Structure 1
């Protein structure tokens, strides 16, 4: 089995881009010396947490499995295939340079409805700054507290439809009947997908693939003060 140092250096270009370790430390909430040990000290660090691996794969849009990156388990390539139905497919290399943040358009707002589906306002409303290379990225303003504590009133979720969603990640799902949901993708099995609610008010929801128009990955969220007009 390869070491975490080998796996990190495999997916990032060498020599490492300037500022990479500081950026990883920032998104993972750890110090730069800790990240340096991830890359350079196999005697001190043998693995990283799955959460840290998911943050790294998400932020840098790496098309590798977080489980493979964190623990060296399973296939390297993450290609769930049927998870993305009618969204653009990612074209992401496994070695990437640092990308700059950019302004992502806010395309509307969403609020959790009493039936578990979203109610939407599609009026564009400025931009938010976010770190992503997805040219199709957009943001949605959260209204109300139905998705608390993960998403709070006034925050923005950033959606990256060109990046394949993974089980365990939040997604925006549009059904063929026009209804939408903001849920956690639980699994895809055969011709069905199952979604989990962000709060505990609703149980799992299972749909046939032919009921689903598209599934778009939620990359993250930013605060209410991030809005740029």
Structure 2
């Protein structure tokens, strides 16, 4: 299972491997130097703070490490087997078609490609391959995001995959959520933000990882 402890241990291991402190690693990646400080890993109210997929991606790019290298560090720190779990890969452009998800937003069917990924503790986790430019500059055409249907109550600022009752599937940022309304912002300012009545969305799941 991918745990809070394993993620932070892998980041610490990556910093050590490249001769950096946690602050040095953040600085090298163009982040605030305090981003990876141990004091930032647990909030004042005791909640776990997870590094964002964007931060991890920047670290990997800045150090010249590979995603596989980071996965190895995760595995070494109890973050699950790098190859031992496979999840279905669905193209975002095809995801809105009938037959890919059940009413709860769980992937269904067989015959699609499956990719290796550490066990998230969610048997319904799946991957979506990004297509087009609507998610630039955060996600590029061909990038893969990992989605966990178990995390179906995202918070403001989370990157999410949502499906409308009409079947449209989109990757957005949750900017506001009330009992009656959901507001989503686009990654690319050239594409419009979206707003829905809650009953107009079939489901909404959090993006938990990006393989870029």
Name the one with the larger strand percent.
1
TM-score (norm 2): 0.58
Measured at CA, do residues 125 and 21 of structure 1 come closer, stay the same or move farther in structure 2, by a change above 3 Å? same
- 2:184 corresponds in structure 1 to 195
Give unpaired runs (5+ residues) of structure 2.
Answer: 23-32, 50-77, 101-109
Shift of 1:169: 1.6
Distance (Å, rounded) in 1 between the aligned partners of 2:111 and 2:133:
21
Residues 129 and 144, structure 2, Cα contact 8 Å, conserved in 1: yes
Distance (Å, rounded) in 1 between the aligned partners of 2:96 and 2:150:
23
Q: Does 1:31 align with 2:16?
A: yes
Pairing partner for 2:88 from 105, 108, 125:
105
Task: Give the number of equivalent residue pairs.
Answer: 158
Pairing partner for 1:204 from 160, 181, 193:
193
- 1:219 corresponds in structure 2 to 208
- 1:86 corresponds in structure 2 to none
- 1:151 corresponds in structure 2 to 139
Shift of 1:129: 2.2
Shift of 1:22: 4.2
- 1:81 corresponds in structure 2 to none
- 1:72 corresponds in structure 2 to 43
Distance (Å, rounded) in 1 between the aligned partners of 2:43 and 2:8:
21
Shift of 1:202: 2.7
TM-score (norm 1): 0.54
Shift of 1:180: 1.8
Give unpaired runs (5+ residues) of structure 1.
Answer: 1-10, 13-18, 36-46, 57-67, 79-96, 113-117, 224-229
Measured at CA, do residues 71 and 182 of structure 1 come closer, stay the same or move farther in structure 2, by a change above 3 Å? same
Across the aligned residues of Structure 1 and Structure 2, the Cα RMSD in angstroms comes to 3.8
For residues 180-227 of structure 1, the C-alpha deviation after alignment (integer angstroms, 9 at most, x for no partner) is 22101112123211101011123332211111111111112224xxxx
Pairing partner for 1:173 from 143, 162, 183:
162
Shift of 1:136: 0.8
Distance (Å, rounded) in 2 between the aligned partners of 1:76 and 1:134:
21
Shift of 1:179: 1.8
Distance (Å, rounded) in 2 between the aligned partners of 1:72 and 1:180:
33
Distance (Å, rounded) in 1 between the aligned partners of 2:196 and 2:11:
36
- 1:87 corresponds in structure 2 to none
